[in-house]
Amino acid sequence: MEINAMSLSDHHTDRPQCRQQRPSSANLAFKGKLFEVWQWNQTLFDGSTARFETLRRPDTVLVIPILSNGDIIFAEEKQAGMSPLLHAVGGRIEPGESPEEAARRELLEESGYVAEEWSIWDAWQPVMKIDWAVYLFVARQLSVASAQHLDSGEKIRLRFISARQLLDRESDLELDDYELLYKLYQARSSDSERQRVAKLFGI
């Protein structure tokens, strides 16, 4: 898979760092299904000591797949114990996978599509106290490769929203995807950023 270099200026493509770094003395206080809790003793400015705590969770990918008619594929997901959520295609990066491999796998599993053209919109860490990177990809030149391959806990219906509407400053955004909403508001918040993202979208 080739990553489109045009889009990379001024935006992260390497893994962004957590703003609150764990020192090497930090110890793993708890390892859950998804989250790890790390703690260490930190000397404060007045010489006293406090126990500090941060989390780790697996990095995730989000994919914006754009069809040739300008529609973007979203996933409306029903999960046990939750009301339906409308979010970007994506999920966890598995051990040993690169972000690009995870993006390609999640696109195929959740939508049945493959894409020939990949760009990265941005990569960032959304929460100060959690070591967790999110990679946001744009996928173009799509074609259907198979049916969806869903996990036993997933029910996903594909939904389509036009790329123009997502970038239109006066259109409502009904998405339940906080990380994507952040980047969409950011794209709508200045003319230069909106132009950059429109170019990524190919519109």
Distance of closest approach, residue 45 Cβ to a second copy, in angstroms: 6
CA 25 vs. chain centroid, Å, equals 30
Q: Which is nearer to a second copy, 96 or 178 (CB)?
A: 178
138 bridge partner residues: 64, 119
**3-class state of residue 107 by DSSP:** helix
Q: Which is nearer to a second copy, 5 or 150 (CB)?
A: 150
Q: Which is nearer to a second copy, 116 or 168 (CB)?
A: 168
For residues 130 and 46, the answer to whether their CB atoms sit within 8 Å is no
The two three-digit tokens of residue 197, written as one number: 């993202």
CA angle 128, 101, 87 (to 5 degrees): 55
Q: Which is nearer to a second copy, 24 or 69 (CB)?
A: 24
The two three-digit tokens of residue 28, written as one number: 């793993």
Residues at the site binding a second copy, with contacts judged by CB under 8 A: 19-21, 23, 29-30, 32-35, 37, 39, 42-46, 48, 50-53, 55, 57, 78, 80-83, 85, 126-130, 152-153, 155, 169-170, 176, 178, 181-182, 184-186, 188-192
